[in-house]
Amino acid sequence: MDLYHVWCDLRPGIRDLTFTEGVARYLGHLKDQGLIENWRLTRRKLGLGPATLGEFHLTIEVRDLAQLDAAFQRVAGRKEPVEGFHFGVNSLVQNTVFALYRDFPDPVRSQGEERF
Q: Which pLDDT score, from 0 to 100, does residue 93 have?
A: 98
Residue type, 44: R
What pLDDT score does 61 carry? 98
- The domains found in the chain, sorted by start residue, are 2-102 (3.30.70.100)
Q: Where are the alpha helices (DSSP H) in 10-106?
A: 16-32, 65-76, 82-90
The per-residue pLDDT for 107 is 83
Contact criterion met (CB below 8 Å) for 32 and 38: no
End-to-end Cα spacing for the chain: 25
CA 31 – CA 51 distance, rounded (Å): 31
Report, as ranges of residue numbers, the positions in the chain whose pLDDT lies below 70. Answer: none
